[in-house]
Structure 1
Amino acid sequence: MSTIGTKLLANLNHEQQAIDQLVELIKHEQETLVAANIEAIDSITKQKANLIAKLADQANKRHLILAAANYQADDTGMQTWIEQNNAREVNEAWQALIQQVKTAKLLNQTNSLLVNTHLARTQNALNILHGSNKSGSVYGPNGQTSSSTKARPIVSG
């Protein structure tokens, strides 16, 4: 394998380690969200930010390696280098990285939906506490939903 191939493979291995850690952390975040342990999310968010910064640094290093070899410093350049050098081992590492990035994105999208669900529930609870329940789910004296019923705030603020 060429020097460029060796450098790329080493860099891809570092990227793979970081993305694997990120996927595990996102899975942990999902478990935390499902358990509604919202207090733990801040710590997880900081860890995610550090791993994402590490991934960005590794991607920049990969781009510099490609640019030094006169290839486009992006994913297209990576694919071109692989094809022109018939680098099976580098290609396998590259494809594994791409797949794990897709996994991380899907998990993160799910977590985003969970966060939005928690936010909606919290907002509804706050609306009720502040007496601004405008959902029409208040029943009037006749047992029918009534949107004209004025709610009194439970807590004055």
Structure 2
Amino acid sequence: MDQITEFSESIDRSLQFMQDLEHLMLLETEVLASRDIGRLQPILTEKQALIERLEQETGRQKQWVEGAGHAFTPAGIARFFRELDPSARLSNHWSTLKEAIERCDRLNHANGLLIERGRKRVAMSLRLLSGDDGQSTTYDPHGRPSSSKHRSRTLSRA
């Protein structure tokens, strides 16, 4: 098997892993939005396994690129493709993989925001239960937050 075919197959494997990861991240979004946390652990486990496979495949790709005397950077990879495959088939294939990576990155960011919103919701609930009405923060003359000395009664004291 020639190097172009091997590298192309490696990109295909990476692309399949990324598509699988994208599917899992969409499921993760659904689970986070529905707050059905019981469904989250299997998704996270499978996600971790996919990420490990992606890292292994990326390591192989890095070895090929660096073995040909190029840095594993966008510029080095572009030179590697020009040398190895003047038809630009690999370069086009690589672009498809990069697009999948960018979609997963956006999903990861969006899921992170969902998690942060959930964390803030829990923190607010805990503050309310402890008697902090959430309105007690004011600002000093320098614009820095300043907690009010007057606190609401806790639920247990009410």
Instruction: Give the TM interval when normalised to the shorter protein.
Output: 0.7 to 0.9
Check whether the contact 2:136–2:151 (CA below 8 A) recurs between aligned residues. Answer: no
> What is residue 109 of structure 1 aligned with on the other side?
109
Report the AA paired with residue 117 of structure 2.
Answer: T
* Percent of pairs with identical residues: 19
- Which stretch of structure 1 is more off in the superposition, 126-135 or 22-31? 126-135
Q: How many residues align?
A: 146
Q: Helix, strand or coil: the match of 1:86?
A: coil
Check whether the contact 1:130–1:154 (CA below 8 A) recurs between aligned residues. Answer: yes
Q: 1:133 to 1:46 in 2, by over 3 A?
A: farther
Q: What are the residue-to-residue correspondences of 1:112-123 with 2, within 5 Å? A: 112-123=112-123
Q: Does 1:6 align with 2:5?
A: yes
Q: In structure 1, how many angstroms separate the alpha carbons of the residues matched to 2:98 and 2:117?
A: 29
Report the AA paired with residue 88 of structure 1.
Answer: A
Q: What RMSD in Å do the two structures reach over aligned CA positions?
A: 2.3
TM-superposition CA deviations, 1:48-105 (whole Å, max 9, x none): 2221111111100001112222222344322111123314221221010000000000
> What is residue 125 of structure 2 aligned with on the other side?
125
TM-score by length of structure 2 reads: 0.81
Stretches of structure 2 lacking an aligned partner (at least 5 in a row) = 138-147
Q: What are the residue-to-residue correspondences of 1:1-157 with 2, within 5 Å? A: 3-84=2-83, 85-136=85-136, 150-155=151-156
Report the AA paired with residue 66 of structure 2.
Answer: A
Report the AA paired with residue 130 of structure 2.
Answer: H
Which contiguous aligned blocks of 4+ residues in structure 1 show a shift greater than 6 angstroms? none
Report the AA paired with residue 37 of structure 2.
Answer: I
Stretches of structure 1 lacking an aligned partner (at least 5 in a row) = 138-146
Q: 1:44 to 1:135 in 2, by over 3 A?
A: farther
TM-score by length of structure 1 reads: 0.81
Check whether the contact 1:33–1:115 (CA below 8 A) recurs between aligned residues. Answer: yes
